[in-house]
Amino acid sequence: MRLMQAFAPAPPGKSGYAYYPPIATFAILGLNILIFILMTLAGGSKNAAVLLSFGASFGPYFRAGQIWRIVMPMFLHIGVPHLAVNMAGLLLLGILLEPIYGYGRFSLLYVLSGMGGSLLSMEASSNIAAGASGAIFGIAGAMLVTGIFHPDVVPRRWKGVFGIGVLAAIIANLAFGRLVPHIDNWAHLGGLITGLVLARLIPPAVRLKEQGGRRAGQPVVILPVILVVLAMGATTENAVKARQAVQLLADSARLAAAHQTARAISVLEEARRLSPEDPRIDEQLGALYLAAGQPAKAVAEFQRALRLGPMAPVASIQLVLAYERAGDSTKARALLKEVARSAPRDADTQEALAETCDALKLYPEAIQHYQATLRAAPNSPLALNNLAWLYTTCPDARYRKPAAALQHARRAVVLTGGKQPEILDTLAAALYANGKTQQAVEAEERAVALDPQNRAFQQSLGRYRKAANPRRR
């Protein structure tokens, strides 16, 4: 009954209204700043992992069951300028609208508008997003409705800002969001539409001064408070479980390095029970199954990882290999072309593409991606070594380049201080391909000294020694 009375329309009057102080506006502003400080201490507000752990909107995670992501993004910001602009907008509009609606109804308008913005953003985009702008657009929409349908409650000095007055600002900001990259206009639209609808359903709460200045209570504030508290509680619980899962990921990687594959898989299954929406767990499981010769299971894991994190190019590349080893070469090559077109140009992604192309015997493409890797990271020993090996041993003689192989192999050895046997083995092969057999023997001897149990190194050393000291007839 009290809740219904809170939504009752304010009666008309002749001697003005008693307005509410904007306490909710300042409370929301303070909460945003507090959370921004916590994000900064946790690793930085621009860190994607921090944003996700604090509840940023991300469609795949939301659809996987993390429903608190519909609430939390309106309290998160990416960098100080983002926070400053949104808090200025909140302060400017909040001190105009909240006195008319009261702290309870204003809080409800704000939180539900922010939720509407997050929902549309996650449905329309697969990007990570955060910010209060959806909720602020909702407040702007409520000001538009208030000015048109309740002009009598707007103070005379602010009548030009409400109604049609705020429409120009709404259009200008939507146009700006459309033109400038990385602005989440879907959240703006979702918040605006929600605010327009809610303002038609929820009338202002001001009360006539002639009635003694008494203003209605605001019990409806309970609803937005409960929503925010529940969302923050769920976010905290999820963050704790996610940290435990990250530790299990590291434990599994150590077990895999020690060739304890079964235990590594068991640890990852435990991590998935703790954090089922983390695609890194599925990626690591897929890699283990791929290494263990179980491509069908690897395909299933990589596909699940991509459903949870569709912008993960490395998982896509690993899925290519899984398809190939599962016997579906057509699907593997089609996916590889798609990934290569859209993959970022960073060194890690390009190197993964190069290794995949090499494994699929797509040698020209492998060389192109290794070269792209070295443009992004000129001193990458692994990329230098792998390209040198391909130039030296490529089954297709058209792509062998012994001189370039030797140049890359020598750089890789210098960068690693001659301490990695695999890189010394590549140098030996490149020297041998260039007719420098005695130097090849010396390089391979160093590799064998570092890894005396490696039979491949021993066989190569025997071959080089035989070439350096042929028997006379």
> Quick one: 360 and 407 in the same domain?
no
> Quick one: 318 and 174 in the same domain?
no
Residue 246: inside a domain: no
> Quick one: 159 and 66 in the same domain?
yes
End-of-domain residue from the set 209, 234, 259: 234
**Most distant CA pair in the chain: distance in Å?**
123
Tell me whether strands 17-18 and 207-208 are parallel, antiparallel or unpaired: antiparallel
Dist. CA 441–CA 193, nearest whole Å: 74
Residue 59: inside a domain: yes
> Quick one: 181 and 226 in the same domain?
yes
Say how many domains are in the chain.
Answer: 3
CATH number at residue 335: 1.25.40
> Quick one: 95 and 217 in the same domain?
yes
- Phi (first) and psi of residue 398, to 5 degrees: -65, -25
* Residues 186, 189, 195: CA angle, nearest 5 degrees: 140
Residue 429 exposed, middle or buried by CB count within 10 Å (0-12, 13-18, 19+)? buried
> Quick one: 10 and 65 in the same domain?
yes
> Quick one: 357 and 439 in the same domain?
no
Residue 262: inside a domain: no
> Quick one: 306 and 347 in the same domain?
yes
pLDDT of residue 218: 77
Asked if 347 and 376 count as a contact pair (C-beta separation under 8 A), the reply is yes
In sequence order, what are the residues at sequence separation of 6 or more whose Cβ sits closer than 8 angstroms to the Cβ of residue 121?
57, 73, 129, 134, 184, 186, 187, 190
pLDDT of residue 70: 97
* Structure-block tokens of residue 104: 């309870």
Q: Which domain holds residue 391?
A: 379-473
End-of-domain residue from the set 298, 333, 364: 364
Residue 93: inside a domain: yes
pLDDT of residue 64: 85
> Quick one: 209 and 317 in the same domain?
no
* Residues 244, 247, 249: CA angle, nearest 5 degrees: 110
Residue 471: inside a domain: yes
Residue 267: inside a domain: no
CATH number at residue 121: 1.20.1540.10
Residue 333: inside a domain: yes
pLDDT of residue 180: 82
> Quick one: 328 and 415 in the same domain?
no
> Quick one: 127 and 217 in the same domain?
yes
> Quick one: 201 and 124 in the same domain?
yes
pLDDT of residue 308: 83
Residue 268: inside a domain: no
Asked if 393 and 429 count as a contact pair (C-beta separation under 8 A), the reply is yes
pLDDT of residue 6: 35
Among candidates 68, 129, 126, which has minimal Cα distance to 279?
A: 126
- Mean pLDDT per 10-residue section of the chain, whose length is 473 residues: 34 55 96 97 92 93 92 97 96 95 95 97 91 96 95 90 91 87 90 97 71 60 96 95 92 92 95 90 94 94 87 84 92 90 87 90 93 94 96 94 96 95 96 95 95 94 88 45
> Which residues pair with residue 207 across a beta bridge?
18
Q: How many CB atoms lie within 10 A of CB 378?
A: 11
CATH number at residue 441: 1.25.40.10
